[in-house]
Chain A
Amino acid sequence: DGGITQSPKYLFRKEGQNVTLSCEQNLNHDAMYWYRQDPGQGLRLIYYSQIVNDFQKGDIAEGYSVSREKKESFPLTVTSAQKNPTAFYLCASSTGTGVSGANVLTFGAGSRLTVL
């Protein structure tokens, strides 16, 4: 079955540590995204990538880093510079930006990061 796999589902981190969240898709989608969800807030865009070896900052990129070395993979690193990293992180993909159609995002199941 095609889809997006995020791992780990739950992750605990001590302050000052970097952690990397994995996101893999087998949908052959060109574009991939990372969103963060906090209670009472909508999903906020962290980073996105339209093509391999290229990515752009979203609205809240500070304290995060990404790479896009392969089409199917878009890992997110939460660095120690991120002041409030405890959140639910969602990876998504789509066929691309497209000039027509809604270009629906397909989401993974998410990763919950807790900083101790």
Chain B
Amino acid sequence: AQSVTQLGSHVSVSEGALVLLRCNYSSSVPPYLFWYVQYPNQGLQLLLKYTTGATLVKGINGFEAEFKKSETSFHLTKPSAHMSDAAEYFCAVSGAGNQFYFGTGTSLTVIP
């Protein structure tokens, strides 16, 4: 069975501060891990994904995430928040079969 837990449904950071959005997963098979972003009134779009290989994955808009198997985590970070980063962020896991399991999302607010 696979599942995703996102700690913190709402995160607020000041502009220029570090962004850290937490994601922990459960998977009985080697997981594929994803972060998606949903801007207001738009569909979800892929930020980055981990499949195999390097555990530090870089995505669009300066975001990156690190796969830590020992901690079953895939936290999303960005060194310096911009106002345009305000959005809903979803972590997802897939593996055996073709189902994707999404977390409940984290709403990021950036304070000027």
Do A and B truly interact?
no
